[in-house]
Structure formats: structure tokens, C-alpha cells
A and B are shown apart, each in its own frame.
Chain A
Amino acid sequence: MKPQVAFFDFTSCEGCQLTVVDSLQTHLDLLDMVEIVQFREAMSERGEDYAVAFIEGSITRESDEARLKEIRERAAVLVALGACAHIGGVNAIKNLAPLHDVRKYVYGERAEWFATYAARPISAVVKVDAFIPGCPIDREEFIRVVNALLRGIKPPIPDYPMCVECKLKENVCLFDKGGDCLGAITRAGCGAICPTYGDGCEGCRGLIPNPNRDSMQSVLAARGLTPQDVMARMTMFGSYEISKA
């Protein structure tokens, strides 16, 4: 029997699940390896027996916790799919401001109609067995992780900084071109796609183990960024980490 897998989403843009669908363009054989039993965005079938659950999205209201815990109980392996599930994603930017202000700004006097709390990665609610970083995920990395999970080995997620991949691509460093970038403290695995296309790393794949954040901040300050600009750079994807501290 093929391993049964299911996809679920919480607060997200569903772009990582779309990337999974897009991975079929070049890896149609994926469907020979696994049986997808639930994938609401793409399928009407709803099977409740699954060994592997992929979760996209962060948790932003209490009522979503029960659903996530139920999935955790059913799944032997639970995988965080993408930055929202892995590190809170851009949803967590709202954690930097008082929640009451955020709610009132969007819903006005009716703020109480719509429940919300500070955005959290799924690991804040349940045990997570593996994660696929990125906003969005890299489709080749998704295939590599599925391959590893099927063989029962640890998913090959790099723990070195993105700068390594950028150097291997022989890109001219953005700092040498007048720009700035978080590549020195951000987990590799994306092939340095943002610097390759001329834009500094936004940190969507999360921090490497033992990042030297102080040094990163001084480098950004030396580049001419104001403390407010440095904070903005560090918080597009790092807000949960920072608001937790």
C-alpha cells in the first residue's frame, strides 16, 4: 500500500500547497509514490486515514488549535509546510503592535466579531516532526523531503547560511552593489533565489542555528540603515522569534 498523505491549511495564502501542485509538472511520479487522501484546495475527496500530514499556515485563533491537535493525533509524521507554519511567516508582523490596535484598524467597531490572537508557528501548539522552510517552499526541496520521509531518513534541510549558496552561484554580493541582505544568518536551501534576482534575502527560511544577530545588525547599520530600517529587515519573517523574546 502506498503511504497516505494529507494536506491542511490554517492562516496562509495557500501558495505552498500550490507549489506542491506545481511540483507535479516535473514530478508526476510523486502520485505513484504516495496516495493523497485529503487536500481541500484541490480535491473534494476527504479521507481521514493518513500517515503523513503537511500543514500550511500559522495558528492565529484559539478555535484552530483543536483541529490542529486532532490532525496531530491521527498523523504518524507531521510536517510544517512553509514559513507560516514553520516560523509564523508575515502573519506574525501583527504581533509587533498591540493586538487591540491591529483589530480596530481593520474591523473598526466590529472588531469583536472576528476572533484572533498573536500569530504562532504550529510548533507552538503541537509537536512537529519535520519542516520545509520558505515563503513559498522550494518545489525541489519539497520533493527531496518527501523522498527522505518515504525512506525513513532525516529530511535534508541545510543548517548553513544562504551566503554559501550565493557564493557557489558566483553572485556579486548585494552589499558590494549598494544593497543589503539577511543571507549571513538565514538558513540556506533556496539556491539564493532572491539575491540572484537582485533583491536582498528577506529571511523567509528562518535563522540558522546559533546566528550572530548582533553582528548582522551592525553590518546593516554600517550599510546606512537606521535602527528602524534594521528592525524592519529583521522582522518581515522574524517577528514571531523577536516578539517571543
Chain B
Amino acid sequence: MAQNLHIDIHHITRVEGHGNIVVNAKNGVLEECRLDIVETPRFFEALLRGRPYTEASHITSRICGICAVGHATASLRATEHALGVALSEQTRLLRDLIFFGEMLDSHVLHTYMLIAPDFFGVGSVIPLAQVAANAVLRALRVKKLAGDLCAVIGGRHTHPIAMTVGGFTHLPTVEEIKALRERLILARKDMDDTITLFKTLPWPRFKRETEYIALSKPNEYAFIDGAITSTDGGSWDVTDYKTITNEHLVQHSSSKHTKHKREAYMVGALARFNVNYNFLHPKAKAAAQELGMKPVCTNPYFNSAAQIVEMVHSVEGAITVCDELIARGIKPEKPYTFSGKGGAGVGACEVPRGTLYHDYEIGDDGRIVNANCIIPTGQNLANIEADMRALVPQILDQGQDKVTLALEMLVRAYDPCISCSVHFLSVKFV
């Protein structure tokens, strides 16, 4: 039995950003168990100060190459709440559609290209293409569809162009929406094949009771806006986000940690699944059943399974929105013009990795006075460490290599976006 263990994984691979796993055990006792965040700080909140409000969504989308649409949306919602901008039904539908596209894009990247290699015992998607060629081609096909969808609405996926305060600077044609709809219908087969593949893979078994937090809405599986909701009970307006997140600095991480009532909480696909299961599309519920998960699921490795459930939900959701847009037609709309009156507002979205908050104060000159943003991965860091502390003693006797792989897979399951999380740290409003 390996009672002594020293693990020091420098720059864990197949995650976004730079993190190290450090574990030390002596005589069967866990002495040290950390996820160090060594990413360079980028100071985005400070960058926003003094910039015109119109730039905020364009600058903050540069926080993340994976969830650029999510950052742009949360940023726009914060600005729109601050300036009292009302949205048309057409704008809501187009934002829903591009959001489904990004959810699909991010989840297919994570499940197929970053997670699946572990299940097949290979180092990356490149050797995976040798052992599971069809799966890799399917992933590339779905990712292309998701990226093309985002490009039709926003101009491109990584750093969308046309999304602006109050609407869009460019509108798709009904013909483009129809073409997307046809491809989404074909993607149903790819979703079925995805479930067939992943349900047979050897998912790690581990459970830890956890508080799950996600936005929720009365009648839909919330992605944009909603009330902050906890599986421990309770619901809060997004403007009260600080009572949930309680950010604090720890020295081994350039990203702040958060905690609510317990030592940590989790956000992301699994949290949304646990909080909002009832509002999943029936096909997504069926996918969950096939994957062997039901709420409340407390196995963090199943965050990736919840992402597959959300991929099915996003394909079906996108088809429904396309149908509505085709029936309504696309109409040009008058752009928003600034009234000369500033204000303060919070925007919240469920981006692929969990709840994202942007909080802005805008002056009467249209410039940003203060900004604060809280990133999903920052909220998950304390919970990843709590999982690591619970997991390591259970598997300590399996030896260094297996413990290392189990920990890497655990961190990857959270789909951390480390360069996001360090780019926004807490700001004291002065």
C-alpha cells in the first residue's frame, strides 16, 4: 500500500489556462492538497475603467476564447440593466440562438477533445483519431455547426462582432436561419451517437454531497438572466450576487475563491442539471436517463455527462428558436442611442462553465466608472479542492500513477477556464 504520495503536476494539460496540482501524503495522512492557479493576472476590470460603455462587451469577450459569446452577453445585460435598455423579442431570440450555439461548441470541445482521450487511454485528440476516427469526425462536424451558427448571428464565434447594446449591428437572413435549421435536424443523429458512445465509457465513481448553484427561471432551463438558486434551498436576485459568492483571496491562486453556506459550492452543467432538471427538453431528459444520471447527482465527474445532456437540450432549443424566427421573419430594428443618463446594473448568464456575473457602474458621460466580474471557474476552485481532499484518501492505496490520473480527470471534469478566472478578480467599489 502506497501510504506516501507526492504529486506535483506542473501546468495540467487539456484545460484552458495554467494550473498545478500539488498533493502530499505521509503515512496515509493527507498533508497538502491544492490546485495552484499560476495564470498571469490580466486586470480586465481595471481595463474597463474610463472606457466607453459600447466597448465593454468587445473588451470582455477577449477574456475567453471559448465562452466569448457568454462574456459578451453577460456584459451587454449588465450595461442594459445599468442604462435601462429594453430588448425586443427578436433580439431575445437571436441571443438565445447564439447562446445555444456556444453551449454546443464548448461542450463538444470539452467532452470529445479534452475528456474523451482519458477514457481511451491516449494523450490527446490526435491519437484518438486513430482509435476512434468516427467519434473525432463527429466532434469536428458538430463543432463546425456550432461555430457556423455563432458566425451567422454574431459574425464569428471567438469574439462575436454583431452583438451590441440593445440588439445587433447585423442581422441574419431567414434563408440563413433555414439552412442552420436543416443542419441542426441532421445533428440529432450525432447527438444520438454521442450518447451511445459516452454511456459505455468507464466513468469514475465518486460522490461528495455538494451545494449546487445555478440561475433559474419559472418556465425554462435558464441560460440568460434568472434568479440565483441553490440546491440547499433559497433564491436570490442577481443584484445580490455578492451574498452568494463571498470572494476571498488565497495565496496559491491568482484567481479568488468563493464560498456560500458551506466551505465551497459548485456551478456549471452539473449544477444546472441539479437545479433545473424539470425544464430540460424531453430528449435531454431521455439522454440523462441513458447516461445513468438523475438529480441530485453528486459525482463531479458527471459534470461532463451533464454537458452531453445540455448538448442535446441546445440542439433541440436551437431548432425551436429557428422555427420561431422563420415564422416571425427578421426585421431591421432601430439601434439604441444613449440617453445621457448613466446607472448601475448586474448581468448574469449561465455560460458553459457556470454562472457568470458582470456588474458595471456607468457615468452620465457614457464611460465605465467601476466594473466587477465573477467567473464560473473562480467559483469552482474551492469546490475542486474540497473534492480532491475527499477523493485522495479513498484512493491513496492505488499508487501514484492512478491517483495522479484520477486527480487530473477530476480537474478536467470541471472544465476549468483558468485564464478566465484570473482575469476577473474582486473589486472593492470605492
> Is A41's beta carbon under 8 Å from chain B?
yes
* New A-B contacts (12) at CB < 8 Å, excluding given A60-B40, A89-B62, A108-B249: A13-B419, A22-B144, A25-B144, A44-B13, A60-B42, A90-B59, A105-B43, A106-B45, A114-B41, A194-B161, A229-B52, A232-B51
Which of B22-66 touch A at CB < 8 Å? 40-43, 45-47, 49-52, 55, 58-59, 62-66
Binding-face segment, B121-129, B180-188, B392-400: B121-129
| Nearest-CB residue, chain A, relative to B66 | A18
Contact with B along A51-93 (1 / 0, CB 8 A): 0000000001100100000000000000000000000011101
Residue A48 at the chain B interface, CB threshold 8 Å: no
- A193 adjacent to B155 (CB under 8 Å): yes
Please choose the segment from B162-170, B202-210, B214-222, B311-319 that sits at the chain A interface, where 4 or more of its residues have CB less than 8 A away: B162-170
Within 8 Å of chain B (Cβ to Cβ): is A129?
Answer: no
Looking at the complex, which one of B62, B144, B164 makes contact with A90 (CB distance below 8 Å)?
A: B62
Q: Interface digits, A96-116 against B, CB 8 Å rule (1 contact, 0 not)?
A: 010001110111101001101
Once the chains bind, are B59 and A10 in contact (CB under 8 Å)?
no
CA distance A220 to B310 in the complex (A): 45
Known A-B contacts A16-B65, A43-B126, A107-B425; the reply to A10 vs B249 at CB < 8 A is: no
Q: Is A186's beta carbon under 8 Å from chain B?
A: no
Point out the residues of chain A lying under 8 angstroms from B156, CB to CB: 136, 193
> In the bound complex, how far is the Cα of B117 from the Cα of A223, in angstroms?
54
Q: How far is the CA of A72 from the CA of B394 in the complex (A)?
A: 44
A 1-44 binary contact with B (CB < 8 Å = 1; else 0): 00000000011111111110110111010010000100111111
A10 contacts B40, C-beta separation under 8 Å = yes
Whether a CB of chain B sits under 8 angstroms from the CB of A236 is yes
* Contact indicator B427/A106 (Cβ below 8 Å): yes
Question: In the complex, what residues of A have CB within 8 A of residue B50's CB?
Answer: 97
Q: Would you give the shortest CB distance from A32 to chain B, in whole angstroms?
A: 12
Asked whether B410 is an interface residue with its Cβ less than 8 Å from the other chain, the reply is no
B140 at the interface (CB under 8 A from A): yes
Residue among B47, B113, B144, B169 with max Cβ neighbours from chain A (10 Å): B47
Query: Could you list some 25 contacts between A and B, CB below 8 A?
Result: A13-B63, A15-B66, A15-B158, A18-B65, A19-B65, A21-B113, A25-B147, A31-B126, A41-B14, A43-B124, A44-B117, A44-B123, A89-B62, A93-B59, A94-B43, A102-B46, A105-B45, A106-B43, A107-B425, A113-B251, A113-B254, A114-B41, A136-B65, A199-B169, A236-B55
CB neighbours of A15 from chain B (8 A): 62, 64-66, 68, 158-159
The interface residues of chain B lying within 8 Å CB-to-CB of A40 are: 11, 13-14
Q: Chain B's nearest CB lies how many Å from the CB of A2?
A: 12
Q: Is the CB of A194 within 8 A of B117?
A: no
Given known A-B contacts A22-B147, A102-B46, A106-B427, A14 and B123 have beta carbons under 8 A apart: no
Q: Which A residues lie within 8 Å of B68 (CB)?
A: 13, 15
Minimum Cβ distance to chain A for residue B150 (Å): 11
Contact between A24 and B40 (Cβ–Cβ < 8 Å)? Answer: no
The winner among B65, B158, B420 for most chain A CB atoms within 10 A is B65
- Is A211 positioned at the interface, with any CB of B under 8 Å from its CB? no
B428 in contact (CB, < 8 A): yes
Known: A13-B419, A44-B117, A108-B428. A199 touches B65 (CB 8 A): no
A116 engages B158 (CB within 8 Å): no
Q: Is the CB of B59 within 8 A of A236?
A: yes
Residue numbers in A under 8 Å from B11 (CB-CB): 40
Q: For A106, what are the chain B residues with a Cβ–Cβ distance below 8 Å?
A: 41, 43, 45-46, 425-427
A window 159-200: CB within 8 A of B: 193-194, 196-199
Number of B interface residues, CB 8 Å?
61
Seen from chain B, the residues whose Cβ lies within 8 Å of a Cβ on chain A are: 11, 13-17, 40-43, 45-47, 49-52, 55, 58-59, 62-66, 68, 109, 113-114, 117, 123-126, 129, 140-141, 143-144, 147, 154-156, 158-159, 161-162, 164, 168-170, 249, 251, 254, 367, 419-420, 425-428
* A45: Cβ under 8 A from any B Cβ: yes
Given contacts A14-B17, A105-B49, contact A197 B155 (CB under 8 A): yes
By a CB distance below 8 angstroms, the chain B residues around A60 are 40-42
> A135–B64 Cα gap in the complex (Å)?
11
Closest chain A residue to B153 by CB distance?
A: A197
Residue of A nearest to B11 (CB): A40
Across-interface contacts of B109 in A (CB, < 8 A): 18, 21
From 198 to 231 in chain A, residues with beta carbon under 8 angstroms from any chain B beta carbon are 198-199, 202, 228-229
Q: Which of A118-166 contact B (CB under 8 A)?
A: 135-136
Question: How far is B161's CA from A197's CA once the two chains are assembled, in angstroms?
Answer: 6
- Residues of B with C-beta under 8 A to A196: 155, 170
> Considering the chains assembled together, what is the distance between the CA atoms of A22 and B55 in angstroms?
26
Cβ B425 vs Cβ A14 within 8 A: no
| Complex Cα spacing A97 to B124, Å | 41
CB distance from A113 to the nearest CB of B (A): 6
Quick one: given A44-B117, A236-B59, are A14 and B65 in contact (CB under 8 Å)? yes
Q: Which residues of A contact B158 (CB under 8 A)?
A: 15, 18-19, 136
Contacts of B66 in A (CB 8 A): 14-15, 18
Residues of B contacting A101 in the complex (Cβ-Cβ under 8 angstroms) = 46
When distances are taken between beta carbons in the complex, the residues of chain A under 8 Å from B154 are 197
State the CA gap A116–B55 with chains docked (Å). 24
Known: A14-B17, A60-B42, A105-B49. A25 touches B249 (CB 8 A): no
Max chain B CB contacts within 10 Å: which of A15, A24, A36, A103?
A15
